Amino acid sequence: MTEEFIFGKLSDGTPVRAAKLSNKNGMCLTVLDYGATVQSLIVPNAAGKPIDVVLGYESAQEYEENDAYLGAVVGRVGNRIGGAAFSLGGKTYTLAKNDGANTLHGGTRGFDKRTWDLCCGENEIVLHRVSPDGEEGYPGNLDVQVRYALGEDNVLTIAYTATSDADTVVNLTNHSYFNLDGGGSVLNHKLTIGAERFLENDNGCLPTGKFLSVAGTPFDFREEKVIGRDICQENEQLRCGSGYDHNYVLSGGTAAILRGAESGLCMRVTTDLPGMQFYSGNFLTPRRGKGGQQIDYRYGICLETQLFPNGLQFWGFPSPILHAGEQMYSETSFAFTAE
């Protein structure tokens, strides 16, 4: 069942529309047309208590100032592009340096700060926009669609489709911060990641091109582990990311399983994408969230399925190039169970 409503107004008076999608089990997703943002995702636990498992804000204007990308779709190229430039077809494209010397999450005004067209189907919310040629420095008119579908099996699927009229680069993901207890630190959540390797980062959280084995390191989540167990270990890579902020090389099958500490809720992530940025909310600063709720350092984790960051620069990284006239498609599912 879907329902549409006006969520609020941006500072220039533009209305922000929202759509609510619910299933028979009481699971309920709210998506905004601004940033194609997941504003709320309510999942009842085994005792029937509704738990909002994503961090979010109460007002449209807080989303405008959303420096942490809470719930948004990031693009045209999510994550980082080293040196804020890339070459394609013999031409160099210069982008905004909005993260030190690099570009982060699409640039100064990425997809998270744009208003999308929103429409609702029976069990889905579909967002669409055309990112014009030259927007944030990227070539090609990019036609993008993000489809959120919620099943009666408590599976939320996010499907991304994009086409361009000129060769370009694309790497889309959703930047929801999950907290399966509905609040507090996530360091007590348990996490499994289906990856044997992760990408080494430099000090700017940019992959160096080197693949590292998780074995014998704090990055090993092949067996379920409490997130906070090793996060403070003396480790060069943890220091680079100020915690976990790394792209895992997914082995295929389940990408991740997250388990709340108190709620009994569990989320299983599957994807057709090769990588997943596990970000442990290391740069989250204190702020007010929905219903006056406190948001703070490491109060949510992001499991951002994607192509490897800085993919144009390294041989062996999956290519983010989308050729003119071709279609890019990917999907990621988040399956919830209550124990």
> What are the catalytic residues?
175, 304
Looking at the Cβ atoms of 72 and 338, the one nearer to ligand GAL is 72
Looking at the Cβ atoms of 51 and 307, the one nearer to ligand GAL is 307
Could you say which of 107, 114, 245, 273 contacts ligand GAL (CB under 6 A)? 245
**Of 52, 202, 174, 53, nearest in space to 105 by CA:** 174
In the complex, minimum distance from the CB of residue 211 to ligand GAL, in angstroms, rounded to a whole number: 18
Q: Which two tokens stand for residue 3?
A: 């329902």
Beta strands in 205-252 (DSSP E): 207-213, 225-226, 245-250
Strand partners, 332: 158, 271
Residue at 4: amino acid letter:
E
Looking at the Cβ atoms of 173 and 263, the one nearer to ligand GAL is 173
In the complex, minimum distance from the CB of residue 335 to ligand GAL, in angstroms, rounded to a whole number: 22
Residue at 258: amino acid letter:
L
Give how far Cα 70 sits from Cα of 44, 184, 201, 227, 244, Å.
21, 16, 23, 20, 17
In the complex, minimum distance from the CB of residue 166 to ligand GAL, in angstroms, rounded to a whole number: 27
CA distance 22 to 32: 15
Q: Which two tokens stand for residue 300?
A: 């949510």
68 binds ligand GAL, rule: CB under 6 A: yes
In the complex, minimum distance from the CB of residue 50 to ligand GAL, in angstroms, rounded to a whole number: 27
**Total chain residues near ligand GAL (CB under 6 A):** 10
In the complex, minimum distance from the CB of residue 42 to ligand GAL, in angstroms, rounded to a whole number: 24
* x/- letters, 199..218, toward ligand GAL (CB under 6 A): ------x-------------
In the complex, minimum distance from the CB of residue 68 to ligand GAL, in angstroms, rounded to a whole number: 5
104 binds ligand GAL, rule: CB under 6 A: yes
Angle at CA of residue 102, ends 288 and 76, nearest 5°: 75
Looking at the Cβ atoms of 35 and 44, the one nearer to ligand GAL is 35
CA distance 28 to 25: 9
Could you say which of 150, 304, 336, 338 contacts ligand GAL (CB under 6 A)? 304
Looking at the Cβ atoms of 192 and 201, the one nearer to ligand GAL is 201
All residues at 6 or more sequence positions from 148 whose CB lies less than 8 Å from its CB, including other chains:
21, 29, 31, 38, 124, 125, 126, 127, 156, 157, 158
186 binds ligand GAL, rule: CB under 6 A: no
All residues at 6 or more sequence positions from 120 whose CB lies less than 8 Å from its CB, including other chains:
2, 4, 19, 21, 126
Stretch that binds ligand GAL, among 121-129, 163-171, 276-284, 312-320 (CB under 6 A): 276-284
273 binds ligand GAL, rule: CB under 6 A: no
Which residues bind to ligand GAL, rule: CB under 6 A? 68-69, 104, 205, 245, 277, 279, 283, 302, 304
